Amino acid sequence: MLGAAGGIDVARFFTVFAIMLLAGKFAGEAFERLGQPAVMGELLAGILLGAGFLKVIPIGPDDPLTPVFRLLAEVGVVVLLFEIGLETNLKAMMRVGPAATAVAVVGVAVPFGLGFLYWRSGWHGYEHTVADPLTTAIFVGATLTATSVGITARVLKDLQVLHSLEARVILGAAVIDDVIGLVILGVVSGLAAGTAFSLRGALRILGVAVAFLFVALWVGLKLAPRLFGLVDRMRVRGVLVVSAFAFLLLLCVLADRAGTALIIGAFAAGLILSETNQFASIEERIKPVADIFTPIFFLSIGAAVDPRVWNPFVPESHETLAIGGTLLAIAVLGKFASGWAVPWRRFNRPAVGVGMAPRGEVGLIFAQIGLTAGILSNRLFSAILFVVIATTLVTPPLLQWTLRWGATLDQDSVP
Amino acid sequence: MLGAAGGIDVARFFTVFAIMLLAGKFAGEAFERLGQPAVMGELLAGILLGAGFLKVIPIGPDDPLTPVFRLLAEVGVVVLLFEIGLETNLKAMMRVGPAATAVAVVGVAVPFGLGFLYWRSGWHGYEHTVADPLTTAIFVGATLTATSVGITARVLKDLQVLHSLEARVILGAAVIDDVIGLVILGVVSGLAAGTAFSLRGALRILGVAVAFLFVALWVGLKLAPRLFGLVDRMRVRGVLVVSAFAFLLLLCVLADRAGTALIIGAFAAGLILSETNQFASIEERIKPVADIFTPIFFLSIGAAVDPRVWNPFVPESHETLAIGGTLLAIAVLGKFASGWAVPWRRFNRPAVGVGMAPRGEVGLIFAQIGLTAGILSNRLFSAILFVVIATTLVTPPLLQWTLRWGATLDQDSVP
C-alpha cells in the first residue's frame, strides 16, 4: 500500500532488483551469443552498475539497501552451490578424491609460495607504510590461494561440461581448496589481530571442515530420503521446494555453527538431496529460485570493483598496475601448475589448471580483512582487487578455449 | 566463506528464513488437513514466532534484519498479487466491474460511517488523552475501511474457487477498495499532519489510481506480447522467469511513482502477462518463487501481533477488548452488508460480504500512522490491531463455510 517499509524505500529496492536482474540477463545473453559463458556478462553488468560507473547497485556502508543485497547475494551463492551439489554424482566425485586433493594442494601451495617470495624479495619496489613486511608478504601470498568455486562452477555449467572428468576434478579441488582457504583465513585473521601463528590452531580449523563434510554427508544420506519421503506425502502447495530450500539454509547454518564455510554446507545439502527420490522435482523447482537469486551474487562481485584505480592514463595507477600485473601472472601460473599435480591420471591438464584460476569472492574477503586490519594499503588492496577481477574475467574464455583445445573430456555420467 | 556480511549475521538470516518457511508450511499443512485454508496456519505461525511469543521473527526497529524481512514480505505480497492477476481472466473481470464497484463503495461507506458514529457517540466511554475527538473518530472509521486483498485472494486460491463469480466480484471490489483506501489514506495522512480535509486532494488521488490502472493495462496489453515474444527468442537460462519477475517489480515501481499502490501495479502486471503466449510457462516458473517469498508476508503480519494486550485475565485489557469487540462487530457487519450492494445480480451474497472482511496489512498501516501521529493512543491502537487480526483470522473458515452453504458458484472459466 505504501512505498516505504520501516524507513526503507521499497520502490528503490524493487527498481535496483529489477535493473540488476535485467542487466545481468541481457548481458548474459549477449555473451552467450558471442560464444562466451553468460556469467561473464553478469560480472561486467555488475561493474557497469557498480561503484565505478552508474552506482545503481548499493555498496556503501551507509546505504540501507547494502546489507539487503549482500544477503540476497549470499542466498544466491548458496543456491548455486546447492544446484551444483544436486547435479554432482557423489560416487563419481569420490573416485576423483585423491586427484582433486592433489590439485587443490598444489593450487594453494604454488601461488602462496610465489606470492610470498615476490613480496619478500622486494622486487616490487613498494614502500611499506602500514605494517611490517613479513605479515604483508604472508597476506599477499594468502590472497592468491583460494579458488572461487562459484565462478568456475557457473562457467562449467554454462558450458554444459559439469559431468566431465575435468569438471569433477576442478569442483572437488575447489571444495577442498575452500577448506584449505578456511585454514589460511583462520591463520591470517589471527595475524591481522596480532596473534602469533599456531600449527595447532590451523589443524583444528582443517579438522572441523573435513569432519563437518563427512558427518553431514553420513547423517544426511541416511536421514534425508526418509524426511523427503514424509514431505512427499504432504499436500500443501509448494511444500517440496520450500522444504528443500529450508534444508539448504539450515545446512549452511550448521556448517557456520560448526566453524566452517556456508558454501560447504550448501554443497553438502545438494549432494545429500541428489540421492533422494524427489531429486528431479527439487531440481526443477529450485531452478527459478536460483534464477532470481544467483545473478545478484555475480552482479555484486562486479559492483565492488572501481576500475578507475587501474586507469593507465593516470600516473598514480602505474605502480598499482605493475604490482597487479605481476601478482596476476603469479596467480594464473600458480593455479595453472595444479593441472600437472596428478601425474597418475590422464585428463585435460590445461583446462584443470585454468579452471582453478578464478579468485572471486574469497579473494575479496581476504583482501577486505587485510585492508581493515591495516596490513594492506589502499593501493595494494586495489592491486589485489585487480588480480581477483582479472582472474575471474579471463577464466571463462580461457576455460572454454582449453576445453575445446585438448578435448579429452570423459563424460562418464549422463547429464 | 564468512558468516558475516557487512555487520549483518548471515547465519542468523538463514536460520530465521528457514524457520519461517518451515513453520509456515507445516502449520499450513496442519490447517489444510483440518479442512481450513493454509494461510491461517501461516498467520498463526507468524504470531507464534513473532513479538508476542518466541521472538524469532525480527520486528524491532533496531534489529538489522527487520528491514530485510520487511522487503522480502513486500516481494511476497506483490508476487502473490501478480499470480492472482495471472490467473484472472481480464474479460470476465470487466463483466463484473459495475458489481465490484458497488460492493467496494458500500464496503467502505458502511464500516466508515458506523465506526465514525460509534466513536462520536461516546458509547465507548473512552477518555481522550492524545488528540481531538473528531479527528480520532475519522481515524477509527478509516481503519475499518480497507479490505486486505492479499488475505482474501490467498483464501480463495487455497479453496480453489478463484474462477467463481463470487471470487471475481470480491477481487475486483478489493482492488477498487484499495484505490478508495489510497484516497482515505491520503486524507487521513493530511489530518495526521494537521492539514484540513480537501475534496480536490481526495479526488486527485482517486483519479491517479484509476488512470494508472487504465493506462498500464492499455499500454501493457499492446507492448507485453511483443516484449515477451522477444524474450522467448533469447536462449540464456532463466530469461523468462527473470523477465516476468522484473516486469512485475517495475510495474510496481511505476505505480508507486504515479502516486498509487505497489499492489495495484502488481495486479496489473499479472493481468497483462496473462494475455501473452508465454503465460503458462511464466505461471509455472513464478510458482516456486512465490512459494519462497509469499509466506514471509503472511508470517510477518502475524509477527506484528502481541496477543498479550488482549489477555482477558488482566484488568487493563478489559477496555481494549470491549472497544475491540465493538469495532470488530462493526468491521464484519459493515463489510457483510456489501454483499447486498448489487440487487441486480444473483450471487452468493454472504460469501461476498465475508470475503470483503479481512483488513490485514492495510488496516495495520492506517493504525500505525494514527499511532505515530498521536491520534490513536496505545490502547486504541491495540484495539484496532485486535480488529485487524480477528477479521483476518475469522475470514478463512467463514468464507469456506459461506461458500459451501450458499453454493451458487458460477465457474465460468476453466481453472
Report chain A residues whose CB lies below 8 A from the CB of B257.
Answer: 11
pLDDT band at A406 (very low <50, low <70, confident <90, very high): low
Query: Is the predicted pLDDT of residue B139 greater than 50, yes or no?
Result: yes
What letter does residue B5 receive in the DSSP assignment?
E
Query: Which pLDDT value is given to residue A249?
Result: 97
Compute the average pLDDT of residues A281-310. Answer: 88
A49-63, A245-259, B146-160, B181-195: segment of lowest average pLDDT: B181-195
Query: Which pLDDT value is given to residue B1?
Result: 35
Compute the average pLDDT of residues A307-336. Answer: 83
Compute the average pLDDT of residues B106-128. Answer: 83
Query: Is the predicted pLDDT of residue B153 greater than 50, yes or no?
Result: yes
Of A21, A74, A290, the CB nearest to B246: A21
| More confident: B402 or A75 | A75
Where do the domains of chain A lie?
A: 4-405
Query: Is the predicted pLDDT of residue A244 greater than 90, yes or no?
Result: yes
Query: Is the predicted pLDDT of residue A4 greater than 50, yes or no?
Result: no
pLDDT band at B182 (very low <50, low <70, confident <90, very high): low
Cβ atoms B99, B168 nearer than 8 A: no
Report chain B residues whose CB lies below 8 A from the CB of A21.
Answer: 242, 245-246
Answer whether CATH 1.20.1530.20 is correct for domain A4-405.
yes
Interface test with A, best of B8, B25, B66 (most A CBs within 10 A): B25
Would you call B35 an interface residue with chain A, using a CB distance cutoff of 8 Å?
A: no
What letter does residue B411 receive in the DSSP assignment?
B
Distance from CA of A179 to the nearest CA of B (A): 10
Domain B73-294+315-405 CATH (choose: 1.20.1530.20, 1.10.10.10, 2.60.40.1180, 3.40.50.20): 1.20.1530.20
Query: Is the predicted pLDDT of residue B411 greater than 50, yes or no?
Result: no
Query: Is the predicted pLDDT of residue B57 greater than 80, yes or no?
Result: yes
Query: Which pLDDT value is given to residue A128?
Result: 60
Place of cell 492495510: B362
Cβ atoms B31, B41 nearer than 8 A: yes
Counted across chains A and B, CB pairs separated by less than 8 A come out at 208
Q: What does the DSSP assignment read for A324-359?
A: HHHHHHHHHHHHHHGGGS-TTS-S-HHHHHHHT---
Q: Please write the tens of the pLDDT for every residue from A159-215.
A: 788 888 888 888 888 878 877 776 777 677 666 666 666 677 777 777 787 788 889
Contacts of A18 (CB under 8 A, 6+ apart): B245, B246, B249, B250, B253
CB contact under 8 A, B22 and A246: yes
CA distance A115 to A117: 6
Query: Which pLDDT value is given to residue A224?
Result: 93
A-chain residue closest to B282, CA distance: A288
CA distance A310 to A320: 7
Q: Please write the tens of the pLDDT for every residue from B276-331.
A: 999 999 999 999 999 999 999 889 878 877 777 777 888 877 877 888 889 899 99
| More confident: B413 or A229 | A229
Hey, what's the cell of A99? 586427484
Tell me which range, A19-33, A94-108, A348-362, A395-409, is most confidently predicted by mean pLDDT. Answer: A19-33
| More confident: A91 or A268 | A268
Query: Is the predicted pLDDT of residue A297 greater than 50, yes or no?
Result: yes
Interface test with A, best of B182, B236, B249 (most A CBs within 10 A): B236
A322-326, A399-403, B137-141, B184-188: segment of lowest average pLDDT: B184-188
Q: Please write the tens of the pLDDT for every residue from A142-167.
A: 888 878 777 788 888 887 888 888 88
Hey, what's the cell of A238? 509448494
Q: At residue B100, what is the residue type?
A: A
A258-272, A297-311, B228-242: segment of lowest average pLDDT: A297-311
Task: Mark which residues 224-253 of A lie under 8 Å from B by CB.
Answer: 234-239, 241-243, 245-246, 249-250, 252-253
Report chain A residues whose CB lies below 8 A from the CB of B24.
Answer: 242
User: Do the bridges between strand B4-5 and strand B8-9 make them parallel or antiparallel, or are there none, so unpaired?
Assistant: antiparallel
Task: Write down the mean pLDDT value for chain A.
Answer: 83
Would you call A34 an interface residue with chain B, using a CB distance cutoff of 8 Å?
A: no
Query: Is the predicted pLDDT of residue A289 greater than 80, yes or no?
Result: yes
